[in-house]
Amino acid sequence: MNKFIILSCIDVKEDDYSGPCVILGCVSDPSFMLFFPVSNENAKVIKYVLDGNDDYDINTNVLGIYKTMVSSWDASDMYLSGVIMDAVYDETLDDNILSIRLALSNQGSGHLDSLVRVNFLHAVLLAAMEEVEIIVSDKLLEQFKPHSDSGIEEYNEDCPKKHKKKASQHFPEDKEIVDIAKKIMSGKIQNNDSD
């Protein structure tokens, strides 16, 4: 499992996508980020929440619904302890789909009280409002990994056997460097600097 936080929304201009995206940054590796496309209107609302604005105007009155949801959890002695994003198999589509659940915990004991299924936007807005982390499963991250058209996969112990490649297939072997390394390890090369 990998923990992510919501960083910001930006406009992306690429060949395959042009528009606003919300950025999720990995807590353990700040250089690893996930980009999710959102609509312009949703990007404005997410930015508004991330800026820490508490006042809701007519353009952000949708946030009142989320504020009411959080207040009802407080009244029930619960709080949002996290968001879980996973990939689950859908038989009708014969493919994995995104599944997002809110983890609600008991305020008294801190134990997990329930998991509530929500859509992506609800999860992002609530995680931003309550400043909680989003846990992304390894299975979902595997789905997000780009797949090379050349068929060369990165060598990894977790990869299926059909994708495993020997290190020599990835990196050319320089015979001269190998010979020099063998001489150094055997002690045949001496340091000639006697100064």
Task: Quote the tokens at residue 164.
Answer: 């495993």
Residue 6: predicted pLDDT: 93
Residue 165: predicted pLDDT: 46
pLDDT along the chain (195 residues), means of 10: 88 87 92 91 89 67 86 93 92 88 92 92 93 93 71 47 46 62 64 51
Domain map of the chain by residue range? 2-144
Of 63, 64, 101, 109, nearest to 82 by C-alpha is 101
The label of the residue with tokens 């058209």 reads 149
pTM: 0.69
Residue 27: predicted pLDDT: 93
Q: Which CATH number fits domain 2-144: 3.40.50.460, 3.10.690.10, 3.60.21.10, 3.30.930.10?
A: 3.10.690.10
Residue 35: predicted pLDDT: 92
Residue 195: predicted pLDDT: 47
Rg of the chain on CA atoms, in Å: 25
Residue 58: predicted pLDDT: 55
Separation between Cα atoms, residue 63 and residue 138, nearest integer Å: 31
Query: Please, what is the Cα angle at 105 between 6 and 64, to 5 degrees?
Result: 55
Contact yes or no for 39/121 (Cβ under 8 A) = no
Separation between Cα atoms, residue 128 and residue 51, nearest integer Å: 10
Dihedral angle, C-alpha 36, 38, 44, 49, nearest 10 °: -50
